[in-house]
Amino acid sequence: MVKVSRAASDEHEFHTLGSRPFEHFVRALHEAQPGILSTNLYGPDGQGQFGADHIAFRTEGVHSLEVGQSKAHRTFGPSDLRNAADAFLENWDDHWHAKDVKRFILFVGCVIKSRQAADEIITLTRRFATDTLPSLTSLRSDLEPIQPERIEATRRVLHAHDDGEIVDQSEVSQVDTFTVRWDVKGGECGALRALIRRFTVTITREDVEQMRAAVAEAEAQVQLVDSLTGLIQQLSTGLDENIYQAVPVQRDGPQDPLRRASLQLMSALAKNGNGILWVDDRFLSSIEHDQFRVETTVEIIDAMVRYGRLTKSAAYGYRQKLRRARWMFMPIDGEEIAYFLRLAVKDAVLTESEDLVTLRRAVADMLLERRNLQWPTPHEAEQGARGEVPFLLDAGHAVTGALKAIWGSREWTVADAEVASAWLLEYLEIDLFPMPPLEADDPRSDHLIGIQLASLLLTQSRGSADRA
């Protein structure tokens, strides 16, 4: 038995055990923790350890590990912490990642007291875990409304104005009046109600507009904060239950958390291969890589339909939510248009539904923003880059596809089909709308010519098939 000395401060000094006994001690301590099946020394007798002294097998999965590193030092400062972490992280991509390591634990045989060391621990924790959660938490804190009690008092003033208890100042004579500076404290102590009972209280239209704008902004912030709270909880639970896996945070790279996270994800996928980067960003979605694919929410929804995880009607509902959120250049197809038209037409009368308004607005937004379409440069076009030209091609075929779905279905009467077709051509037809002007010798002009010719060919072939 080895006796552990105790300092005057009653703090255990485990470093007095010595390096090898301390290593065995922390391994046994790790094995005694809930959720751990067993532990083994890793790379003893001079073998390469890749920043680990022992490994622990988790009970939740045969291939799931935790890694422990032991340091029986008398003192342990910020530089020691960094070196210990680097010894493990430098081997993450080439050694540990494929072994499904879920946690890294650094066991130190002394008490860490300095503030600088504590700050370094915080920094290292962010390196090991995904920095998405801290970034989202910080963003949520920044968005939380300041002085919510003032917003609530503002609501009471607006309610009193809407109920006629506070009148427009322009409607009241300015004789024998005085101005009171409104403050939230007055609302909290009930002074407003007392003033309304004894006096005619007025307010300017400008103040009402400013107050409504302040309340609307606060309500939007609360909704966003609630949404972020749900997202943070979902991600946190997913990480704990191994639904999501964290990518180690790199020291270098952009300061912006979104750019840094994107680069780290692409770097991890490029090394591991056969992955999908799910990101809703027009620039990133245009990236083509041999080792991974970049998919947007729209493509994920379509994939879930193909694999039977979503019905088409449910998928259409999600796509409409994206359009209402003003998703730029949202894809549209003919069957989707025909689906919403079928719900809106009855007895040769079309009642424009919210879904049809959403489709019409989405097409209008696309036309307004058409000059922001990502067109490949002449050199990129020669190399086969497509940019967002496929979206334009799909949009050009959408109306043709909708007409085919309507007139080729027995669910439509001729009268209903005529009404739906008239709405289609009135609001969604874009073939004759001018797109970004290109020089005559610009190779990208071939894309535009191809779109027009393909549409004509498609219409002609379908018409011939129908006549046959």
Is 262 part of a structural domain of the chain?
Answer: no
- Given a contact cutoff of 8 angstroms between Cβ atoms, the answer to whether 270 and 289 are in contact is yes
Report the alpha-carbon distance of residue 53 to residue 67 in Å, rounded: 8
H/E element holding 27? helix 19-31
| Same-domain check for residues 97 and 164 | no
Mean pLDDT of the chain: 79
Question: What are the tens digits of pLDDT across the range 156-193?
Answer: 889 988 998 888 887 766 645 555 555 544 444 567 77
The answer to whether residue 319 scores a pLDDT higher than 90 is: yes
Owner of token pair 């485990």? 14
Q: What are phi and psi of 346, to 5 degrees?
A: -150, 130
Q: Residue 261 domain-assigned?
A: no
Tell whether 42 is covered by a domain. yes
Yes or no: say if 270 and 291 are a contact pair by the CB < 8 Å rule.
yes
pLDDT at 415 (0 to 100): 95
**Most distant CA atoms of the chain, gap in Å:** 99
What region, left, alpha or beta, does residue 67 occupy, with left being phi > 0 and alpha being psi -120 to 50 degrees?
A: beta
Q: What is the C-alpha separation between 191 and 56, in angstroms, rounded?
A: 65
For 235, counting Cβ atoms within 10 Å of its Cβ (0-12 exposed, 13-18 middle, 19+ buried), the class is middle
pLDDT of 237 strictly over 50: yes
Query: Do 337 and 461 fall into the same domain?
Result: yes
Query: What is the predicted pLDDT for the residue at 180?
Result: 56
Mean pLDDT across 54-74 = 83
Shortest CA distance to 320 belongs to which of 297, 286, 292, 342? 297
Whose tokens are 């952009």? That residue is 254
- Please state, in angstroms and rounded to a whole number, the distance separating the CA atoms of residues 219 and 238: 29
Q: What is the mean pLDDT of residues 392-416?
A: 88
Q: Is residue 346 part of a domain?
A: yes
| Average pLDDT of the residues in 76-102 | 82
Write the CA distances from 255 to 130, 249, 334, integer angstroms: 15, 12, 43
CA distance 339 to 356: 10
Same domain, 63 and 155: no
pLDDT in tens, 324-369: 988 888 888 899 999 999 999 999 999 999 999 999 999 888 888 8
DSSP string, 324-384: HTT-TT----HHHHHHHHHHHEETTEE---HHHHHHHHHHHHHHHTGGGS-PPPHHHHHTT
> Distance (Å, rounded) from C-alpha 152 to C-alpha 37?
54
Sole residue written with tokens 């989707």: 336
Does residue 269 sit within a domain?
Answer: no
Rounded to 5°, angle at Cα 356 from 354 and 361? 95
Paired residues of 103 in beta bridges: 66
Q: Could you read off the pLDDT of 420-461 as tens digits, one per residue? A: 999 998 888 876 555 544 555 555 556 556 655 665 554 444
Q: Is the pLDDT of residue 300 over 80?
A: yes
Rounded to whole angstroms, the Cα distance separating 294 from 272 reads 15
Over residues 30-56, mean pLDDT = 84
The string of pLDDT tens digits covering residues 129-163 is 555 666 677 677 777 777 788 888 888 889 988 99
Same domain, 331 and 392: yes
In the three-class reduction of DSSP (H, G, I as helix; E, B as strand; rest coil), residue 167 is classed as strand
Could you tell me the two tokens for 98? 């494929």
User: What domain count does the chain have?
Assistant: 3
Cβ-contact 269, 291 below 8 angstroms: yes
pLDDT at 9 over 50: no
Claim to verify: residue 341 and residue 226 sit in the same structural domain:
no
Residue partners of 275: CB distance under 8 A and separation at least 6? 268, 269, 291, 292, 293
Q: Which residue, 214, 234, 254, sits at the end of a domain?
A: 234
User: What is the CB neighbour count within 10 angstroms for residue 327?
Assistant: 17
Q: Which residues pair with 167 in a beta bridge?
A: 202
Percent of the chain with pLDDT over 70: 76
Q: Cβ(375)–Cβ(312) under 8 Å? A: no
Token pair belonging to 77: 């400062």
Same domain, 189 and 63: no
Q: Is the domain of 36 the same as that of 123?
A: yes
431 part of a folded domain = yes
Does the reported pTM lie above 0.85?
A: no
Instruction: Please say which residue of 234, 260, 276 terminates a domain.
Output: 234
Whether residues 394 and 446 share a domain: the answer is yes
- Distance between CA 215 and CA 192 in Å, rounded? 18
Instruction: Name the pairing type of β-strands 166-168 and 345-346.
Output: unpaired
In a domain, 451, yes or no: yes
The pLDDT score that the predictor gives to residue 418 is 94
Rounded Cα distance, 367 and 339, in Å: 23
d(Cα 98, Cα 50) in Å, to the nearest integer? 13
| pLDDT at residue 359, as a whole number | 94
Q: How confident is the model at residue 307, as a pLDDT? A: 93
Q: Which residues are CB-neighbours of 334 under 8 A, at least 6 positions away? A: 397, 398, 399, 400, 401, 402, 403, 404, 405
Q: Cα separations (Å) of 68 from 53, 102, 239, 353?
A: 6, 11, 20, 61
The residue segments making up the domain with residue 161 are 148-234
In a domain, 241, yes or no: no
Which range, of 59-68, 84-93, 222-231, 363-372, averages the lowest pLDDT?
Answer: 59-68
Among residues 70, 98, 129, the one where a domain terminates is: 129
Indicate whether 338 and 455 sit together in one domain. Answer: yes
Mark whether 429 and 332 lie in a shared domain.
yes
Question: What pLDDT sits at residue 322?
Answer: 93
**Residues 27 and 78 both lie in one domain:** yes
Same domain, 394 and 344: yes
